[in-house]
Structure 1
Amino acid sequence: MKITAIRAHRVELPLHEGTYKWSGGNAVTIFDSTVIAVETDAGITGYGEVCPLGSAYLPSYAEGVRTGLKEIGPKLLGLDPRDLAVLNQRMDQAMRGHPYVKSGIDVACWDILGKATGLPVVTLLGGRFGADFKLYRAISQESPAEMAKRVHQYRAEGYTKFQLKVGSDPDTDIDRIKACAAELQRGDVLIADANTGWLMHEAARVVDAVRDIDVYIEQPCMSYEECLAIRRRTARPFILDEVIDSLAAVLKGQADLAMDVINLKISKVGGLTKAKQIRDLCQALGIAMTIEDTWGGDIATSAIAHLAHSTPPELLFSATDFNSYVTRSIAEGGPTRNHGRMAASTAPGLGVTPRAEVIGPTVVNITG
């Protein structure tokens, strides 16, 4: 089997709630997502999706996905898409860095491998643990009262884990955490995610002010070293996200006891192949994980579901269902939330088929 073509489609994903806000005054109203199709001479086509969280979150941006595909795509024609290690080596040789560009191709090739073997990707990633898994809900940065109302709303939808977007004025963030904590019921989990938004002195004030609240602190500062310093000043459980981008980063964090949980984003590390490597390392080291991506629709959410569902429940801190945040379904067969839980498809591959009328025309067309 050989890759004969790589095509990309640009699709806009509006949000149900209008705007998603996080640290630094950043906000997105319509997500710019890229659907990637990898075609083969066996008549099997695999699909992936990459949707950066704007251009100010990580070193990635939507148009960069499509531009990068034009650079590395021609160098992948003729490869067997089932040879995932070979494929990833070729991509890394063709372009240093830019893992988000490579992610959609890698995911599409896992989709092909599943379709070729007649197996769902969850089976290829290690097997399905249980019937489903828990989700978290991200709560966009608003006033303390409005965010507390969202906790109440989302609990009624079945969620029990709530990730608050903080990382702005420390006093307001303290009020946000306290207001939302007051809404919690027994068994609920609260995460204060600063998305690198605090300076060290601000983070120090916040973690001290919430020292008696049952809340997880996530990625308070920009650098690993700053986060580690704050970690050592608080007894609250600690999550690292933006700085966890490789096996080496996980090993360093484990050696320094820098975190209790990591956030593993598929496109941040370059696709399912490298995400699985990190997941398996965390499993061996006993590090809990939230498995997700930067954003996306049905295809990205499906990839999340397969990786999350193949992760031992005791190490799966949470996962996310981004396709429920947006107003457009871009593929048939996408996983759906059921009372705060989700399951991976049992169909071969990712189990999704893009809706041609939604994803629109081809904007990148790479053929031999």
Structure 2
Amino acid sequence: MKIKKLDIYAIRLPLTTPFIVSYHSYDDMPSIIVKLTTDEGIVGYGEAVADDHVTGESWESTYALLKHSLAPAVLGMNPMHMERLHDKMDATVYQAPAAKAAIDIACYDAVGKKLGVPVYNLLGGRFHERFPITHVLSIGEPEGMAQEAIERMEQGYTSFKMKVGRDVTSDVARIRAVRQAVGKDVAIRVDVNQGWINAASTLQALEQMKDLGIDWLEQPVKADDIDGMVEIKAKSSTPLMIDEGLKYKREMREIIQRSAAHKANIKLMKCGGIYPAMKLAHMAEMAGIDCQVGSMVESSVGSAAGFHVAFAKKIISSVELTGPLKFSKDIGNLRYDVPFISLNDQAGLGVDVDETILQELTVEQTTVEGE
């Protein structure tokens, strides 16, 4: 089996409401879809959701990189040879994890379909039966975030991830308002997306909200401030999760060596796809670091890929792949039973892609084909 053709689609996924984090507000979600076709006619889909602030890639650069460099590099290769594929991509382009993730995911989808098994069976088999889904609250006014949390509880959600990162005073007010609205028994996770900058302001915030029962605090300091993470972890009893500060094996080694976090947020778009994500999970497991598979607000394709990783590994105890729930129109049919996700047992990713909707959402497309 060989990779014969890659169709690359630059699309924009429409959001039902704007998605607001500390560094940006999204009215829609730019994404790249890769449709991989083998010489046997098997089709696999992959996705790249780049983020200038997280992966160091833009939507435009990812499309160009796939078109001109990565897609031509993997033509003719066997999609089953994952170590060799990643070695080829790494030799072709330095870093660019979201672009590589698109090809990685498409290969897993195609291989699963070829063998007639779900992707999680290619990763050691299924461990988890289902995961609870956490609703993500975009940054807003305290009253609005509290009201949204109440409405989501009525829909069955039992946990929330709050996006904050504007300033300590207003952020603590947001967290306090949501806690008062949902009660003491509902899980609240706080994601700062680097917005509190340093350890000093973070420790100040933690002191002000020590009575709010936060499940964990995620990436309060700048991505490369491992010193800050170490200080916060040493001076606070609140569990600390690293996100933007973890991309590849090098960062995971330092996190383990320096005991810089209690939890690690693994994202396929940050590390280069399913194959490297599994490597990170294995490293974390050896060190006793709990893991989450996080979201870059992917469509059904990228979200399903993350779920397959999560369902296969015991050390992964939470997921945050809620992109498809935020779109008014999606290219795939990943199914949620709110507040849970239960994967099907279809071959590959288990997602059917609607080519009509894919074309409707496409802004630009190209085909890279071998002889």
Q: Which category of TM-score, normalised to the shorter sequence, fits these structures?
A: over 0.9
TM-score by length of 1: 0.94
Q: Which letter does structure 2 place at the counterpart of 1:338?
A: D
Deviations 1:115-166 (A, max 9, x none): 1111000111122224311221211000111111122122222222211111
Distance 2:173 2:161 in 1: 15
Which of 298, 301, 304 lines up with 1:299 in the alignment? Answer: 301
Distance 2:297 2:160 in 1: 17
Using the TM superposition, give the Cα deviation of residue 52 of structure 1 relative to its aligned residue in structure 2, in angstroms: 2.7
In the TM superposition, 1:46-195 aligns within 5 A as: 46-53=44-51, 55-70=52-67, 71-185=69-183, 187-195=185-193
* Consecutive unaligned residues in structure 1, runs of 5 or more: none
Using the TM superposition, give the Cα deviation of residue 203 of structure 1 relative to its aligned residue in structure 2, in angstroms: 1.8
Residues 13 and 329 of structure 2 are in contact (CA less than 8 Å); yes or no, is this contact kept in structure 1?
yes
Q: Which letter does structure 2 place at the counterpart of 1:9?
A: Y
Deviations 1:198-237 (A, max 9, x none): 1323222211111222112110010222222222232111
Distance 1:339 1:299 in 2: 19
Using the TM superposition, give the Cα deviation of residue 247 of structure 1 relative to its aligned residue in structure 2, in angstroms: 2.2
Residues 300 and 330 of structure 2 are in contact (CA less than 8 Å); yes or no, is this contact kept in structure 1?
yes
Name which of structure 1's ranges 55-64 and 302-311 shifts more when overlaid on structure 2: 55-64
Using the TM superposition, give the Cα deviation of residue 104 of structure 1 relative to its aligned residue in structure 2, in angstroms: 0.4
- The answer to whether 1:27 aligns with 2:29 is no
Using the TM superposition, give the Cα deviation of residue 11 of structure 1 relative to its aligned residue in structure 2, in angstroms: 2.0
Residues 54 and 270 of structure 2 are in contact (CA less than 8 Å); yes or no, is this contact kept in structure 1?
no
Name which of structure 1's ranges 154-163 and 71-80 shifts more when overlaid on structure 2: 154-163
**Percent of residue pairs bearing the same amino acid type:** 25
Q: RMSD value over aligned CA atoms?
A: 1.7
In structure 2, the residue matched to 1:213 is 212
Which of 258, 261, 276 lines up with 1:259 in the alignment? Answer: 261
Using the TM superposition, give the Cα deviation of residue 185 of structure 1 relative to its aligned residue in structure 2, in angstroms: 4.2
In structure 2, the residue matched to 1:330 is 331
Which of 365, 368, 371 lines up with 1:366 in the alignment? Answer: 368
- The answer to whether 1:6 aligns with 2:6 is yes
Distance 1:171 1:186 in 2: 21
Distance 1:108 1:240 in 2: 27
In the TM superposition, 1:213-252 aligns within 5 A as: 213-215=212-214, 216-222=216-222, 223-252=225-254
Deviations 1:64-95 (A, max 9, x none): 22111021211111111111111110000011
Residue 293 of structure 1 aligns to a residue whose secondary structure is coil
Distance 2:185 2:86 in 1: 41
Name which of structure 1's ranges 164-173 and 6-15 shifts more when overlaid on structure 2: 6-15
Distance 2:16 2:6 in 1: 31
Residues 68 and 101 of structure 1 are in contact (CA less than 8 Å); yes or no, is this contact kept in structure 2?
yes
C-alpha distance 102-124 of structure 1, shift in aligned 2 (>3 A) = same
Q: Which letter does structure 2 place at the counterpart of 1:320?
A: L
Distance 2:144 2:63 in 1: 37
TM-score by length of 2: 0.93
In structure 1, the residue matched to 2:354 is 355
Name which of structure 1's ranges 233-242 and 125-134 shifts more when overlaid on structure 2: 125-134
Residues 193 and 217 of structure 1 are in contact (CA less than 8 Å); yes or no, is this contact kept in structure 2?
yes
Residue 265 of structure 2 aligns to a residue whose secondary structure is strand
Using the TM superposition, give the Cα deviation of residue 187 of structure 1 relative to its aligned residue in structure 2, in angstroms: 4.5
Distance 1:219 1:145 in 2: 24
Residues 291 and 319 of structure 1 are in contact (CA less than 8 Å); yes or no, is this contact kept in structure 2?
yes
Q: Which letter does structure 1 place at the counterpart of 2:317?
A: L
